[in-house]
Amino acid sequence: MIIIIQCKDQVGLVADISRILSEAKLNIISMREHVDKAENRFFMRLEVDGTADELILKERMQQILPEAAIVHVNPVPDKKIVVMVTKEYHCLADILIRNSFGTLGANVLCVIGNHAVLAQICKRFDIPFFLIPYHEDKELSEREIINKIKLYEPDYVVLAKFMRILSPEFVANFRSKVINIHHSFLPAFAGASPYKQAFERGVKLIGATAHFVTDDLDEGPIIAQQIIPVNHSFTAADMVKSGQEIETAVLAKALRLVFNDRVFVHKNKTVVFE
């Protein structure tokens, strides 16, 4: 059983939580906790052994925790996701392979693309692919995508190189549920063509960032990041090729952390229990 807690900090929280678990005859297998002193915010992830009524346990936790505490007892182990793509295959292919072998930690319900390029690979993995191109009326296109996603009721929407800027309306429909992979080490080189920007700047490191999507372009809470060295011999094309490998790895790591309920979001930051 997994228990997730986020609330205001106060003296005695760990002792009180441990007491509730002990009274329920639950043994703590793993406990990770963090206090953000600047925000006076407490975060905890527990893995416990034993059986208990989840609703009763949640009620008892909320009785001893500060007001407005967020408590999740035994979240669904396999999340449901919808993947959105454009033309690049590397992140999608990795997701589909992991999904096929049952190592993703989630079930891919469908893939939505604004180009038909990746329809064939989805067919090979027997995953529904829906082509929804962007028209001149962007709002109409987004509404069609939103309606399609809502039919599946996913836990998360994964942007696996979906190269379009999403509107505030889209984000509002899936608040804290949209995960994006950006091809730079944010906050450096946000927006379009980061590898071209990096090449022109002559950087010695390039990276990738997985983050939750907010209304502010490429400024959402960061889940995972990674960098690799480059040098003067790298062309812009070389950087793209190397970058695609790190994008795949960073997105895979971020999804694993999120699907295992190891990522807490508060305001524009995350607490990640790796």
Complete DSSP assignment for 16-65? HHHHHHHHTT-EEEEEEEEEETTTTEEEEEEEEES---HHHHHHHHHHHS
pLDDT at 266: 95
| Same domain assignment for residues 67 and 91 | no
Q: Where is the domain boundary, 18, 43, 73?
A: 73
Q: How far apart are CA 158 and CA 222, in angstroms?
A: 14
Q: How far apart are CA 59 and CA 45, in angstroms?
A: 17
| Same domain assignment for residues 116 and 30 | no
Terminus-to-terminus CA distance in the chain, angstroms? 18
pLDDT in tens, 103-137: 999 999 999 999 999 999 999 999 999 999 998 88
pLDDT at position 94 over 80: yes
| Same domain assignment for residues 27 and 100 | no
| Same domain assignment for residues 89 and 191 | yes
Q: Where is the domain boundary, 73, 88, 104?
A: 73
State yes or no: is 218 an active-site residue. yes
CA atoms within 13 A on the CB side of 194: 21
- The token duo for 101 is 């072998």
pLDDT in tens, 174-220: 999 999 998 877 776 666 677 777 777 888 888 899 999 999 888 89
| Same domain assignment for residues 135 and 255 | yes
Range of the domain at 217: 79-272
pLDDT at 205: 81
| Same domain assignment for residues 176 and 102 | yes
Residue 246: band (very low, low, confident or very high) from pLDDT cuts 50, 70, 90? very high
| Same domain assignment for residues 231 and 184 | yes
What CATH code is carried by the domain that includes residue 24? 3.30.70.260
pLDDT at position 224 over 90: yes
Q: What is the CB neighbour count within 10 angstroms for residue 175?
A: 10
Q: Where is the domain boundary, 73, 95, 123?
A: 73
Q: What is the CB neighbour count within 10 angstroms for residue 92?
A: 27
228 vs 101, higher pLDDT: 101
- Work out the average pLDDT over 154-172: 96
| Same domain assignment for residues 33 and 122 | no
What CATH code is carried by the domain that includes residue 120? 3.40.50.170
**Contact partners, residue 88, CB within 8 Å, separation at least 6:** 161, 163, 244
| Same domain assignment for residues 61 and 130 | no
Q: Which of 16, 218, 238, 261 is catalytic?
A: 218
pLDDT in tens, 17-76: 999 999 999 999 999 999 999 999 999 999 999 999 999 999 999 999 999 999 999 888
Report the DSSP beta bridge partners of residue 265.
Answer: 270
pLDDT at 76: 82
Q: Tally the domains of the chain.
A: 2
| Same domain assignment for residues 247 and 266 | yes
| Same domain assignment for residues 67 and 132 | no
Q: How far apart are CA 128 and CA 99, in angstroms?
A: 13
| Same domain assignment for residues 53 and 88 | no
Query: Which helix (H) or strand (E) element contains residue 245?
Result: helix 236-259
Name the phi and psi angles at 33, rounded to 5: -145, 155
